Chain A
Amino acid sequence: MKRTEPFEMYQPTTLQEASRLLKEHGPGGRFLAGGTDLVIAMKEKGLLPKYIVDLKRVPGLSGIREKGDGSIALGALTTMYEIETSPLIRKKYPFLAQSAAEVGSIQIRNRATVGGNMANATPSADVAPALIALDAAAKIASASAERTIPLKEFFQGPGQTVMNTDEILTEITIPKTDPRLVGEYIKFSPREMMDLAYVGVAVVYNLGAQDKKCEGVRIVLGAVAPTPIRAERAEAALEGQVLTEALAEKVGQIAAEEAKPISDVRSSADYRRAMVGAMTKRALLNAAVGPATSWYDRRDRRY
């Protein structure tokens, strides 16, 4: 395996300093979080950053906090393993914890961060669909300003986000949700672990206790478009309706029409599209019966 080439490395201790370094040193610099994408890109794809700005010495960028208003803040440097094992996330959003557990191995998840995963903007990023389905927002800071944008608008294309080079993703915020909220994330890939998603589907809706109607429906697709996308026509087809197997099938078909998959070494576009339909249906029905208890259970689960 090829080795990384030399580069300058900075370890700022404030966000302002980190942002200023990128501004002053100009193009060719990269921020470093967990390194599980960046170091692989340097070794495997010949990426040669002129300099690296390690964000891990900046305090306050990691950890999961529930705020007074019921929202939850995920610091950008929170690791996938922290999300996967957080009692708060497991209780409130088990499908989000599970989507984090779908990333690589435990060794990878102890390093990979939610901020790095979002900032690298891989179309198949596993936690992105669940976060978008929860209407999460991205907090972005530079030396002089801070802004917040919906995560849905954060991604611009493979590897591309709305951030300028001197901007840093500092936090993902999940707004307060309805107590009736249920959800599911299905990663569809030929191997059960250590694989990238052919198709990722996150669904979230508020399930009426009495009338069983679905409200606030979110259906978010990963790996089947240049960015994670919401299947808004499919969402509308379920909004206010009582979920049945026939309706789930129909909603799945609409979601499949909304996907814009490509053919590549992993799978053909047609197959991906068909799987969007099947997995959306399955995710909608699984969500209604509650979270799976283990990955064995999840693998075989058909609502």
Chain B
Amino acid sequence: MNKAIHFTLNGKPASREVLTHRLLLDLLRDEIGLTGTKEGCGTGDCGACTVYLNGKPVNSCLVLSGELDGADIVTIEGLKIGPELHPIQKTFLQDGGAQCGYCTPGMLMMAKALLDENTNPTEEEIRFALAGNLCRCTGYAKIVQAVQDAAAMLRK
């Protein structure tokens, strides 16, 4: 079933005819061409597909396009505004917060969501916030470090 929807994508208004059963993840990657958002498990366990829907981080692999009329969507491509990298992107680079990199977009989205609410998180608060983002390279220590360093940068 087709449906015309109007939404905001990375701050810009967009209109599209979508199939209602198409997943937001597939709409972003296969139709709009924003391939920064990754598919890991496809069942809401790994967080690689995290995007912001109406300001809140969600798994885009579990959102149907038919629900999206009027939605505000932000993907990893919309994380930085302007030419400067977001502090969380800088510290992931600086601290080696990525190994294979597949989980990184989701990690960055979730880390920014945490830092938007709390610029001085403890290690346990960071681990709690990132519980739904799996890194199968298991490089969690440096990811946590990168979030702590980004928080310090944001507090300055």
Contact = CB atoms under 8 A, between A and B. Distances in A.
Interface string A259-294: 000000000000000000000000000000000001
Interface in B36-91: 39, 41-45, 47, 50, 53, 56-59, 61-64, 66-67, 69
A151 B19 CA distance: 37
Q: Is the interface of B mostly helix, strand, loop or mixed?
A: mixed
A107 B47 contact: yes
Interface of A: 1, 3-9, 11, 32, 35-36, 39-40, 43-44, 52, 54, 56, 81, 104-108, 110-111, 193-194, 294-296
Given A1-B61, A6-B20, A39-B64, 9 more contacts: A7-B1, A9-B1, A9-B21, A52-B20, A104-B132, A105-B45, A106-B110, A107-B132, A295-B124
B34 interface: no
A107 B130 CA distance: 10
Given A111-B59, A111-B62, A194-B45, A9 B20 contact: yes
Contacts of B44: 36, 40, 104-105, 107-108
B66 A6 contact: no
Which of A6, A9, A104, A296 is the most central at the interface, judged by chain B CB atoms within 10 Å of its CB?
A9
Interface residues of B, number: 35
A171 B19 CA distance: 31
Top 6 closest A-B pairs, CB basis? A105-B132, A1-B42, A193-B131, A9-B20, A9-B66, A110-B56
Contacts of A108: 44, 59, 132
A36 B64 contact: no
A49 to B, nearest CB: 10
B143 to A, nearest CB: 15
A7 B58 contact: no
Nearest to B52: A110
B132 A106 contact: yes
Contacts of A9: 1, 3, 20-21, 64, 66
Contact of B58 (A3, A111, A194): A111
25 contacts: A1-B41, A1-B61, A3-B23, A4-B21, A9-B1, A9-B3, A9-B64, A32-B67, A36-B44, A39-B23, A39-B63, A44-B43, A52-B20, A52-B66, A104-B44, A105-B131, A106-B110, A106-B129, A107-B47, A107-B110, A108-B132, A111-B59, A193-B128, A194-B132, A295-B124
